[in-house]
Amino acid sequence: MRGLTDRAEALLDRHLLKGSRRPLAVAVSGGGDSVALALIAEGWARRSRRDLLLLTLDHGLNPDSAAWTGRCEALAQRLGRPFRALAWTGPKPASGLPAAARAARHRLLAEAAREAGARVILMGHTADDVAEAQVMRAAGATTPEPRVWAPSPAWPEGRGVFVLRPLLDVRRAELRDWLSARGETWIEDPANADPRFARARARRALPADTPLERQEPAPAAIPFEERLGVLDVARAAFRASPAGLAERWLAMACVCAGGGSRRPPGVRAARLSAALRGDGPVLATLAGGRIEADTTAIRIFREAGEAARGGLAALSLPRSQAVVWDGRFELLAPRPGLEVRRLAGLASRLPDAERRRLQAVPAAARGALPTILDGERVSCPLLSDTPAVQVRGLVADRLRAAAGLVTREPD
């Protein structure tokens, strides 16, 4: 079997660009997994002429966390690489702490990576993390299974950012043997052995010699077109896809078109997928998305009336600062004083040319289009020849990434 470093570097070669001017971010906690990852990434980056940025997050949950951050900074200094310390501040939830910490970690890492210009974050999950996640899900948890390559789960902070886990086929014990042979030390977080947490209980339930199995999900390559945030897919293509893949694609499509971040319950996605694989018309909502299907086509778009989660709320746009509205569109205003709202209730105030173009949009999708208010002037930048703001749709790129169709670091 190939050595640990060779196996990890093969994945780095497969998914990363050599010689790119973008930095590569590495999440380092000071534990054995992330220390080993930083050392391997440093060797690969040096040979591949890549800048490397080490990021450490202090969750504020352990009195020794400041000292742990100091050790991570010392590692970065030893490697001659830049370092940035991040902090999860504010009140912590009384329940669901591990999930909240995981979400905060991905959000803060993604924000730091984007600010630095990085498009990929390396994380040190191992084969044991996969097995522990499987044990936790069997017990009823919703812990996701780590994947080697995946888009950042933080949305919209992680737009355009990917996570690469090159150690996912390596056992934790093998990593520690590798470190010990090099005279390296690492931190042991006591939370990993705290039985109050499901992760620690799962770790204890797994004997060291447990055979580990992992399978990367196949790409959900159902062809689609997107225009103005509306996804269009041939119903025949949906029916021709394997049932499990079609169900997974549908859930992702609804999340992306709806602009949210939470996957819908599996039972609802399965029920809707089964209906779409039939022949009759379908009208439904799922995860903030509205699904309209006739005998030949399926259209998925934002449910304009679903405003409970606040994504469709009005937003004042800062000058020259990109902001994401409703999780679907990135807007950049050239000057202050502009506001974005949903089109619902404002269509009659659009210029004539924009009202004509609006007719090509499915009627139920029109009310959720972004609309710019500039004093008394109302305009939809997606329909205008001279939009008041720069607008970039996020739905299609997000869906391609979520479906596994983006397999290498974007240039």
- Measure Cα distances from 315 to 21, 229, 259, 337 in Å: 34, 19, 16, 11
Residue 145 DSSP code: P
Angle at 9 between CA 6 and CA 11, to 5 degrees: 115
Q: How many CB atoms lie within 10 A of CB 147?
A: 17
CA nearest to 387, candidates 401, 376, 397, 374:
374
Residue 140 marked as a ligand binder = no
Residue 33 marked as a ligand binder = yes
For residue 27, list its beta bridge partners. 55
> Please, is 43 exposed, middle or buried when counting C-beta atoms within 10 Å of its C-beta (0-12, 13-18, 19+)?
middle
Residue 32 marked as a ligand binder = yes
> Please, is 29 exposed, middle or buried when counting C-beta atoms within 10 Å of its C-beta (0-12, 13-18, 19+)?
buried
Q: CA 174, CA 389: separation in Å to the nearest integer?
A: 53
Contact 177, 126 (CB under 8 A): no
CA nearest to 342, candidates 363, 321, 311:
311
From edge to edge, which strands make up the β-sheet containing 52-58? Answer: 83-87, 52-58, 24-27, 120-122, 162-164, 149-151
φ, ψ (nearest 5 deg) of residue 128: -65, -35
Q: How many CA atoms does the CB half-sphere of 309 hold within 13 Å?
A: 16
Contact 153, 109 (CB under 8 A): no
Residue 29 marked as a ligand binder = yes
Give the contacts of 356 (CB within 8 A, at least 6 positions apart).
none
> Please, is 270 exposed, middle or buried when counting C-beta atoms within 10 Å of its C-beta (0-12, 13-18, 19+)?
middle
Q: How many CB atoms lie within 10 A of CB 235?
A: 18
> Please, is 286 exposed, middle or buried when counting C-beta atoms within 10 Å of its C-beta (0-12, 13-18, 19+)?
buried
Binding positions for ATP: 29-34
Binding positions: 29-34
